[in-house]
Chain A
Amino acid sequence: MTWDVVVIGGGNAGLVAAIAARQRGRRVLLLERAGAAMRGGNTRHTRNARCASAEYPADELWADLRGVGPPGPLARLTVERSAEVPDWMTAHGVRWQRPLAGTLHLGRTNRFFLGGGKALVNTYHRSAAALGVEVRYGACVTDLAVDGPGGTEVVLDGGERLGARAVVCASGGFEANLDWLRRYWGEAADGFLVRGCRENDGRVLAALLARGAATAGQERGFHCVAIDARAPRFDGGIATRLDSIPFSVVVNADGRRFYDEGEDLWPKRYAIWGRNVAGQPGQVAYSLWDAKVNERFLPPMYGPATAPDLPALAGLLGLDPAAVAATVKEYNAAVRPGAFDPSRLDDCATEGLDPPKSHWALPLDTPPYYGIALRPGITFTYLGVRVDSAARVLDAGGRPLGSVFAAGEIMSGNILSSGYLAGFGVTIGHVWGRIAGEAAAS
């Protein structure tokens, strides 16, 4: 039997594509690699969407996107189509809530869905089931035979072949594939953790590239934040993040500072710290703070190391106490008094220190002292397949690769380059899921 549309991947991009194609009357099969309990891919870890609106004009979103790195060729289209996303979500059963605690600054630009990403996935599965989309769990796609007899064939790991008039690839990046990361990062990749789901090993992406798809995006492009070094290898998600950095002094394994912890408001800077830590020896860094600021940020999941003095804290974290003491002494001496205010770019800064701490710089002097080891935690990689404005996968000559479409993280390299803007991953999934689903249905 030949399906009208087979969607590979059950995250938000895949679900939106399946629903959109089914609403155009097509017979749709969605292949979810995980079992039912862990369905939804990286969408399970999301909580909001950043979309243009009357309060947040497309031009402002565009400017914010440009602020985190040079946008890709399809970024402008994504920004413009983002305005349709919230209404589409509401129409498909999504409920909304006020911005979560600690995210009030995102209230104008980002819309938070009730219960977060797994609730979103459950809602879309309900909607898809009501429409008659078929779903197969535990379905691992190993290859695509493009333009075989009767369309494209999707090959499953058991050898089964599914015929499809059109295929939408929404199977994410390759962040859970350590060998693939090593190609671009070398041994440093061994020090990375994966915040996203363990299923995203890039099999479908690799198959598309082997079948002649052109690439889009940078090899080292990824959304990566600094997370607790004790987080699991895969699938740690939001709970492993750490918001202490602007309130702390961050040192590397040699006990030395390496980047301005107070460069900008945390929501604008949180996404560069994964890359910052990735560049340090051993891909590890240590955030150190004291009793004055301990309750200024969300409590860390595993709790911090605590000691009555800095040398003892350094010892607990496996750092050289003398090196840490010297760094903190130099830092404390450079701190100039100011009016401490975490809600704005305040005037608490260091003077004559390299690198500086430009805001929220307070001396580290009030016991007990706290510290946590950080590692880069990758959410998703950007290197993917090149697509056109109808989400058709293109080959190196710019010609469509049969009737294969792509949506979500697997094509995010057409939009993002190096930086990340909170909530934009869900926006990409929805905008391109819809474009791909509707195009695959026509």
Chain B
Amino acid sequence: MTGELSAGALFAEAGRQLTVCNACRYCEGYCAVFPALELRRALTEGDITHLADLCHDCRACYTACMYAPPHEFAIDPPAVLSAVRRDTYDRYLPRLPAGRATTIAVTGLGALVILAACATAGGTSAAVPGSPYRVIGYPALLAAAGLAIAWGLAITGWAARRYWRDTGGRATLAGLAAAAGQAATLRNLRGGGADCAYPGDEPSPWRRRLHHLVAGGFGLCTASTVAAAVSQDVLGDPPPYPVLSVPVLLGVLGGAGLTAGCAGLLRLRSRSDPYRTDGLMSSRTRSLLLALLVLSVTGLLTLLLRGTVAFAPVLVIHLVAVTACFAIAPYTKFVHVIFRFLALVHDRSEAGLAD
């Protein structure tokens, strides 16, 4: 299995398979990977990394491949490119000791920070019942969340810079715009119109639809937070906000989308073929989905329970989850957003320059 190969052997195997693909070319209608491959003859490690991150794992090529195992050519792009993506994430982001212990430690640390911040509650004026500032002080909350976010951005920014350099990335304005369009529509999860072969070998639109729910939900939750900040700091209207207000409506919609999307993707994942995805990548995907699920469910609960005694503990749990998630984001599947978007910008710019 590709998961057990050393990095050198992994790139050699990916190069072998992609060379067969480049001589065949039947899959070029499916996604951006194959046309990009055709612009290259000798594949460097940077090329292979770029192609791996351009792959959205729709698996259409695998189901269409007459050379897939048990054929002796043993072509399986989704599996080998998934293993290369794991290499990418490990290469460009500082490794953490595996999984659960780290998550517990970071969550514990987040809990300590948030609980300490709670000691400053009441520091802000006008903290009416249902306001978060009866539970936690605003400056302390800002500091805790801000630090976590700044840390995440710094780490991923550093990784993105080195990734861009190593994959020979180049960007044009038109390429950037086209990449944003493809990212927003998940064009490369469409299988050229045939849809994803996920979770089984039959084409299905559900992975793309659920991903839209997750991404859209995450975007709306972010917008809700921004709207609340604007209401409070620009318009001078402190929380809590009524149900029919911009922050609450955005938050409810976003939270519902995120919850449904994460739950759906977790269900699809449990039914998918484990051999198509690198094992560690698959467990990282699961971790990210579970973390987002905790975020969205606790977020919705703070709203539902804000008039009750449960409000304070649920809010603390939600804030701990937010802090911990942002702190560990650079080490989870969350970073696929960065690498895949950079690969799309590279690809769309390159395609534009080639025309």
Q: Give A contacts to B, CB under 8 Å.
A: 37-38, 40, 44-45, 47, 95, 97-98, 100-102, 112, 114-119, 122, 126, 232, 235, 237-241, 295, 298-301, 303
Interface residues of B in 48-99 (CB under 8 A from A): 60-61, 63-73
Chain B residues with Cβ below 8 Å from A241 are 23
Query: Can you list 25 A-B pairs, Cβ within 8 angstroms, ordered by A?
Result: A37-B69, A37-B70, A38-B70, A45-B66, A95-B193, A97-B192, A100-B28, A101-B28, A114-B30, A115-B26, A115-B27, A115-B64, A115-B194, A119-B60, A119-B64, A126-B202, A235-B71, A237-B24, A237-B66, A238-B24, A239-B23, A239-B67, A241-B23, A298-B22, A301-B20
Chain B residues with Cβ below 8 Å from A95 are 192-194
* Any A CB within 8 A of the CB of B237: no
CB of B63 within 8 A of CB of A119, answer yes
Nearest 10 pairs between A and B by C-beta? Answer: A116-B26, A97-B29, A115-B64, A44-B66, A119-B64, A301-B23, A239-B24, A239-B23, A118-B66, A114-B29
Interchain CA distance A119-B58 in the complex, whole Å: 14
Pick from A112, A115, A239, A303: contact of B73, CB under 8 Å = A239
Chain A residues with Cβ below 8 Å from B165 are none
Interface residues of B in 1-41 (CB under 8 A from A): 19-20, 22-30, 35, 38, 41
Counted as pairs of residues, one from A and one from B, with CB atoms less than 8 Å apart, the total is 87
CB of A122 within 8 A of CB of B25, answer no
Chain B residues with Cβ below 8 Å from A122 are 63-64, 201
CB of B193 within 8 A of CB of A114, answer yes
B73 to chain A, nearest CB (A): 7
Interchain CA distance A407-B306 in the complex, whole Å: 72
Chain A residues with Cβ below 8 Å from B41 are 295, 299
Interchain CA distance A47-B66 in the complex, whole Å: 11
Chain B residues with Cβ below 8 Å from A45 are 66
Interchain CA distance A275-B61 in the complex, whole Å: 33
A60 to chain B, nearest CB (A): 26
CB of B23 within 8 A of CB of A298, answer yes
Among residues of B, the one whose C-beta sits closest to the C-beta of A42 is B66
Chain A residues with Cβ below 8 Å from B63 are 118-119, 122
Interchain CA distance A114-B194 in the complex, whole Å: 8
Chain A residues with Cβ below 8 Å from B27 are 115-116
Interchain CA distance A112-B22 in the complex, whole Å: 17
Chain A residues with Cβ below 8 Å from B66 are 40, 44-45, 116-118, 237
Interchain CA distance A425-B63 in the complex, whole Å: 23
CB of A101 within 8 A of CB of B60, answer no
Interchain CA distance A239-B68 in the complex, whole Å: 13
Chain A residues with Cβ below 8 Å from B192 are 95, 97, 114-115
Interchain CA distance A104-B61 in the complex, whole Å: 22
A330 to chain B, nearest CB (A): 31
Interchain CA distance A211-B64 in the complex, whole Å: 38
A146 to chain B, nearest CB (A): 34
CB of A299 within 8 A of CB of B29, answer no
CB of A100 within 8 A of CB of B71, answer no
A296 to chain B, nearest CB (A): 11
Interface size on B (CB < 8 Å)?
32
Interchain CA distance A235-B70 in the complex, whole Å: 12
CB of B194 within 8 A of CB of A102, answer no
Chain A residues with Cβ below 8 Å from B72 are 232, 235
Chain B residues with Cβ below 8 Å from A101 are 25, 28, 35, 38
A46 to chain B, nearest CB (A): 9
CB of B19 within 8 A of CB of A115, answer no
Q: A112-B29, A232-B72 are in contact. List 6 more A-B contacts (CB 8 A).
A: A40-B66, A119-B194, A295-B41, A299-B19, A299-B41, A301-B20
Chain B residues with Cβ below 8 Å from A102 are 25
Among residues of A, the one whose C-beta sits closest to the C-beta of B22 is A299
With known contacts A95-B193, A115-B194, A117-B66, A301–B19 Cβ distance under 8 A: yes
Chain A residues with Cβ below 8 Å from B194 are 95, 114-115, 119
Q: Which of B69, B192, B202 has the most CB of A within 10 A?
A: B192
Among residues of A, the one whose C-beta sits closest to the C-beta of B193 is A95
Chain A residues with Cβ below 8 Å from B20 are 239, 301
Interchain CA distance A180-B36 in the complex, whole Å: 44
Among residues of B, the one whose C-beta sits closest to the C-beta of A100 is B25
Pick from A37, A44, A235, A299: contact of B23, CB under 8 Å = A299
Among residues of B, the one whose C-beta sits closest to the C-beta of A116 is B26
A10 to chain B, nearest CB (A): 14
Interchain CA distance A100-B22 in the complex, whole Å: 12
A317 to chain B, nearest CB (A): 20
Interchain CA distance A303-B25 in the complex, whole Å: 16
Interchain CA distance A116-B24 in the complex, whole Å: 10
CB of A100 within 8 A of CB of B26, answer yes
A6 to chain B, nearest CB (A): 26
Among residues of A, the one whose C-beta sits closest to the C-beta of B72 is A232
A135 to chain B, nearest CB (A): 15
B208 to chain A, nearest CB (A): 16
Chain A residues with Cβ below 8 Å from B61 are 115
Among residues of B, the one whose C-beta sits closest to the C-beta of A301 is B23
Interface residues of B in 238-280 (CB under 8 A from A): none
Chain B residues with Cβ below 8 Å from A235 are 71-72
Interchain CA distance A235-B74 in the complex, whole Å: 13
Interchain CA distance A237-B64 in the complex, whole Å: 14
Among residues of A, the one whose C-beta sits closest to the C-beta of B61 is A115
A32 to chain B, nearest CB (A): 15
Q: Which of B61, B66, B71, B73 has the most CB of A within 10 A?
A: B66
Interchain CA distance A300-B22 in the complex, whole Å: 8
Chain A residues with Cβ below 8 Å from B28 are 97, 100-101
B221 to chain A, nearest CB (A): 36
Per-position binary interface string of chain B over residues 325-351, scored 1 when its CB falls under 8 Å from any chain A CB and 0 otherwise = 000000000000000000000000000
Chain A residues with Cβ below 8 Å from B202 are 126
Interchain CA distance A410-B201 in the complex, whole Å: 31
Interchain CA distance A40-B30 in the complex, whole Å: 21
